Structure 1
Amino acid sequence: MIELQSSPLMPEKEAELSVMGVWVIGTLPDQKTKELPRAAVQVPNVADELTWWRSKAPESLFSASRTSHGSWVAHDDAFRLSALFDNCYDDSDAAEALGDAVMDRFPPKGDEGLFAAVARKASPFSALAYALGPDAVLRLPGWFGGFLLHAEEVRTQLPAAEKALALTGAQRRAAVERIHRWMTGLGDDPDHDAEELLEGPLRVLRHAARTGQGAAGLVRWY
């Protein structure tokens, strides 16, 4: 089980200071994924907001801070986009109970089958979504960072995830910079590992496909 009230994912000292955004992806034995209840995700109607996001996707939603070198100031559109992501997060009792059951079955910290990103005052998934853009995000498994896949589904959806995440060259550099802007403009995590945010999810999904396991992703605030 992953314990989120203390290390390894959220140090107790940091947990006391402010809200923490968490995105966890882990492998699960295939039989376990089939035994878990599949609660229907409460998907809001965000068609209009997705259209708006597509219109804004090429733009930067942040300006360089005049008072702090290397920091960024969020525009109003950045807050609107953040609200869109948060509204896509299913915090119903059924979803929370399923998330708890899934985390009980994840491998331990340090295992190749586990990826965990934690950020102070910001959601790691939201930072990645801003970096990738709407079309790439919709190619990822599940719904805005949350998913539960058995082994066959992992293999089926892996190529789309690879297309979204396996960035190179200028695309990758731009994504890393966008993650940094989100983590400093909306969050308080200037040293967040942007490279790992791109590589970790794909590493776990590939490991699951290679070993015949299922996989799950959870987005949460603490």
Structure 2
Amino acid sequence: MGFTSAWSISAHDDGFINALAPRLLPLIAAERDEPFARQRWERWCREPLPDFRTWWNPFGQYRQREADALESFLELTASGRHVQKMYDGLPGDDDFSLLTHVWDLVTDAEDIFVSVKSKEYALRSFLHAIGPARAALLPGWCGNFLLTSAEVRQTLPAVEQALGFTPEERAKAQDQDWLGYGDEEESVLDGPLRMWRHAAAHARGLCGVSVTMY
């Protein structure tokens, strides 16, 4: 069965970030504290996956040698059931919608990065492409975060370290990012750092969420 996912990073003023915090921050914490979540993260750090083209055999099945580690990574990088409530709706808060109350409020294209993919998680390709050492420098949990403008400025050096590439490093990361991009579509290797720099320059906060849309 197919699905469509979205990973978004949007810039907002601190008033909006503070109002959103009681909704989103507990969900991110619950995602991080989910049983086996930390184990999956630590396993990926210990066993970074090889070239994605080696994951399947000619019959489209996972190669047994890597099946356990791959299944663990796939579970780690799929939309979690807690943050997913930001899209599906929070219990007792039926009027809130990530689509209408966060994304639709963004009126300037510079204020948002979003990657929508069919039958794939953009976040998954991003994390595999940059690897666990760089991913560990990013705030939040597996692409989900909520930061005030001050926190954006504080975390910018680490994000620049994580997502700043030499030409050789860039080529290697691009080789492991299996997503296809249209002419007007921003790469997962470009959008996040652009958003951090943009938000820091304009004293804005950031909201990052990875969800399954349908």
RMSD of equivalent CA atoms: 3.0
Provide runs of 4+ in structure 1 moved above 6 Å: 64-67, 192-195
User: Using the alignment, how far apart are the partners of 2:7 and 2:85 within structure 1?
Assistant: 18
Among 124, 127, 131, the residue aligned to 1:126: 124
**Count of matched residue positions in the alignment of Structure 1 and Structure 2:** 192
Shift of 1:156: 0.5
In the alignment, structure 1 residue 62 sits paired with structure 2 residue 60: no
Q: Tell me the equivalent position of 2:12.
A: 28
Matched, 1:85 2:77: yes
**Normalised by the size of structure 2, how large is the TM-score?**
0.76
Which residue pairs with 1:141 in the alignment? 139
AA at the equivalent of 1:31? G
DSSP-derived class of the 2:191 partner:
helix
Separation in structure 1 between the aligned mates of residue 210 and residue 163 of structure 2, nearest angstrom: 18
- Higher normalized contact order (CA 8 Å, seq sep 6+, divided by chain length): 2
Report the Cα offset of residue 111 of structure 1.
1.5
Q: Can you give the 5+ residue segments of structure 2 that lack an aligned partner in the other structure?
A: 91-95
- State the 1:82 CA deviation: 1.0
Distance 1:79 1:192, change over 3 A: farther
Give 1:154's aligned residue. 152
Alignment-derived partner of residue 206 in structure 1: 197
Within a 5 Å distance, the mapping from 1:29-44 to structure 2 comes to 29-38=13-22, 39-40=25-26, 41-42=29-30, 43=32, 44=34
String of CA shifts for 1:59-118, please: whole Å, max 9, x gaps: 324329898xxxx9754243331112227563464685477243343x23x621111111
Counterparts of 1:132 and 1:212, CA distance in 2? 27
Question: 2:113 and 2:5 mapped to 1: Cα distance?
Answer: 14
**Matched-pair identity in %:** 25
Question: Structure 1, unaligned stretches of length 5 or more?
Answer: 1-16, 184-189
Q: Which amino acid aligns with 2:150?
A: E
How big is the shift at 1:122?
0.8
